């Protein structure tokens, strides 16, 4: 009887989650079934199980040992499971309802519903972070209208440049908090480095990438931004970047490598998808560069516009290609690093062997370095700004290529 009840409860919960995820246009039905009817039936079953078996079982909630003894009873174990199913469903329906009220697109809610289904509180926490990021990015029309003064005005001026990218960047920054706590608490290492170091780096790097695209987006015309290419700049970055971070964090939680991990078919597929995602999100930079270079782009300082176009284009040419070279090989190291080589602080670049990550880092951050140099040249050297931009871009590209050549030769840059 308990097995049958367990199976029926699971089936009802699975069907309810399917309604929430797969039928966004039937939200009334989804709310009625997943938010009310099924949680109520599971709660009723829970009530019966507790009423019949609670007094027969030792244990309680005062200590871990008492909880372990409590769930030694199959009946109370099923009751506890129904407890999880009912409350997770209730929270999932609430997320869908509140997400709709906040104006969040359904595809953005689907991963959170899946997380709530699998790991209840993580999905709830993720929704709170997404909703807050959405508000801060001013995607929600009512957000922040009464506070636009001082720093608030500056923030909303930035967020309004491309709210979806800003919201994604905020989420990636928010992920630094739990990842950082995990870094402190978890002593596991991979190749001598804490397993949470890589997620921290990628969260920070992709947040900066998102903010950079958002900052440059208004330099393209409204027609481009509304076009398929303009929408691709946003979503071809957001979706792969979110996948990259989720996959890297998942592998870190298992104490496993995310990059160059082909130990199992599943790991090989995951690594291949990461590579595809990296290429896709990096391609958004030259795509935006094309949008800024079009004739219908709004007016801007010519030298600064040139710097932005060059920076975005070189992001893919230098950073993207070097990333592909690393992916095609067995790792980022060229040569055998000496034992105890802890690498350059913060970055971890090897100091006793070639390390392709140096050139990759320089290439990816061309989108910040060259436009910054262009802005300074336009302000300080207005008569010679264009040659200064071309000279700096050539110097930066040369440095990146030199770092790549040094790494391929097995020599450390530092």
- pLDDT of 61 > 70? The answer is yes
145 secondary structure, DSSP code: G
**Cα 384 → chain centroid:** 40
Residue 344 or 213, more confident:
213
**Segment 164-185, tens digit of pLDDT:** 999 999 999 999 999 999 999 9
Separation of alpha carbons 378 and 386, rounded Å = 8
Closest residue by Cα to residue 184 from 192, 194, 193 = 194
* DSSP three-state, residue 46: helix
Q: What are phi and psi of 354, to 5 degrees?
A: -70, 145
- CB-neighbour burial class of residue 351 (10 A; exposed 0-12, middle 13-18, buried 19+): middle
Residue 251, CA atoms < 13 Å, CB-side half-sphere: 25
Tokens of 97: 């309802």
DSSP 157-194: HHHTTSHHHHHHHHHHHHTHHHHHHHHHH---EETTEE
Whether the CB-CB separation of 188 and 195 falls below 8 Å is answered with yes
Separation of alpha carbons 142 and 234, rounded Å = 23
pLDDT band at 208; cut points 50, 70, 90:
very high
Average pLDDT, rounded, for the chain: 88
Highest mean pLDDT: which of 104-113, 211-220, 271-280?
211-220
- pLDDT of 372 > 90? The answer is yes
Structural domain spans, the chain: 1-102, 300-414
Separation of alpha carbons 360 and 332, rounded Å = 10
CB atoms within 10 A of CB 150: 8
Find the mean pLDDT for residues 294-310: 93
CB atoms within 10 A of CB 17: 22
Q: What's the pTM value of the predicted model, to 2 decimals? A: 0.82
- pLDDT of 96 > 70? The answer is yes
Find the mean pLDDT for residues 367-374: 95
Residue 28, CA atoms < 13 Å, CB-side half-sphere: 0
Q: What are phi and psi of 193, to 5 degrees?
A: -120, 140
Give me the residues paired with residue 194 across strands: 189
Q: What are phi and psi of 263, to 5 degrees?
A: -65, -30
CB atoms within 10 A of CB 38: 23
Residue 143: the pLDDT is 44
- pLDDT of 335 > 50? The answer is yes
pLDDT band at 141; cut points 50, 70, 90:
very low
Separation of alpha carbons 185 and 304, rounded Å = 45
Residue 148, CA atoms < 13 Å, CB-side half-sphere: 14
155's CB contacts (< 8 A; 6+ apart) are 136
pLDDT band at 323; cut points 50, 70, 90:
confident
DSSP 307-375: HHHHHHHHIIIIIIHHHHHHHHSS-SEES-PPTT---STTT---SSSEETHHHHHHHHTHHHHHHHHHH
- Looking up tokens 């246009």, which residue turns up? 25
Whether the CB-CB separation of 139 and 163 falls below 8 Å is answered with yes
264 secondary structure, DSSP code: S
């Amino acid at each position: 009887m308990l097995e049958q009840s367990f199976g029926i409860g699971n089936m009802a919960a699975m069907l309810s989650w399917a309604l929430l995820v797969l039928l966004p246009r039937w939200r009334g039905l989804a709310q009625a079934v997943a938010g009310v009817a099924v949680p109520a039936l599971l709660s009723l079953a829970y009530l019966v199980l507790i009423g019949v078996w609670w007094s027969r079982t030792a244990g309680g909630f005062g200590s871990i040992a008492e909880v372990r003894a409590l769930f030694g009873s199959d009946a109370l174990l099923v009751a506890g499971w129904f407890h999880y199913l009912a409350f997770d469903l209730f929270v999932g329906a609430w997320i869908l309802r509140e997400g709709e009220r906040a104006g969040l697109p359904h595809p953005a809610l689907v991963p959170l519903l899946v997380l709530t289904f699998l790991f209840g509180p993580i999905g709830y926490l993720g929704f709170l972070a997404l909703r807050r990021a959405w508000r801060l990015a001013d995607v929600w029309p009512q957000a922040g209208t009464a506070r636009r003064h001082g720093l608030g005005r500056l923030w909303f001026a930035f967020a309004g440049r491309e709210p979806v990218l800003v919201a994604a960047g905020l989420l990636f920054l928010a992920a630094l908090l739990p990842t950082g706590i995990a870094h402190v608490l978890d002593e596991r290492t991979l190749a001598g480095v804490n397993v949470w170091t890589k997620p921290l780096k990628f969260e920070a790097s992709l947040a900066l990438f998102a903010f950079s695209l958002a900052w440059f987006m208004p330099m393209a015309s409204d027609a481009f931004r509304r076009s398929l290419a303009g929408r691709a700049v946003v979503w071809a970055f957001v979706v792969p970047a979110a996948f990259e971070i989720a996959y890297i964090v998942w592998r870190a939680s298992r104490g496993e490598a995310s990059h160059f991990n082909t130990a199992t078919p599943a790991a090989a597929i995951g690594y291949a998808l990461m590579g595809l995602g990296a290429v896709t999100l990096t391609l958004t930079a030259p795509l935006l560069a094309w949008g800024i270079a079009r004739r219908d782009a709004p007016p801007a300082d010519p030298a600064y516009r040139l710097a932005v176009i060059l920076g975005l284009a070189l992001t893919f040419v230098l950073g993207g290609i070097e990333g592909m070279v690393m992916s095609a090989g067995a790792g980022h190291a060229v040569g055998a690093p000496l034992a105890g080589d802890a690498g350059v602080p913060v970055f971890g670049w090897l100091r006793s062997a070639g390390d392709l990550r140096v050139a990759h880092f320089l290439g990816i951050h061309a989108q910040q370095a060259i436009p910054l140099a262009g802005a300074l040249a336009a302000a300080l050297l207005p008569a010679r700004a264009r040659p200064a931009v071309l000279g700096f871009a050539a110097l930066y590209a040369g440095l990146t290529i030199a770092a790549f050549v040094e790494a391929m030769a097995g020599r450390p840059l530092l």
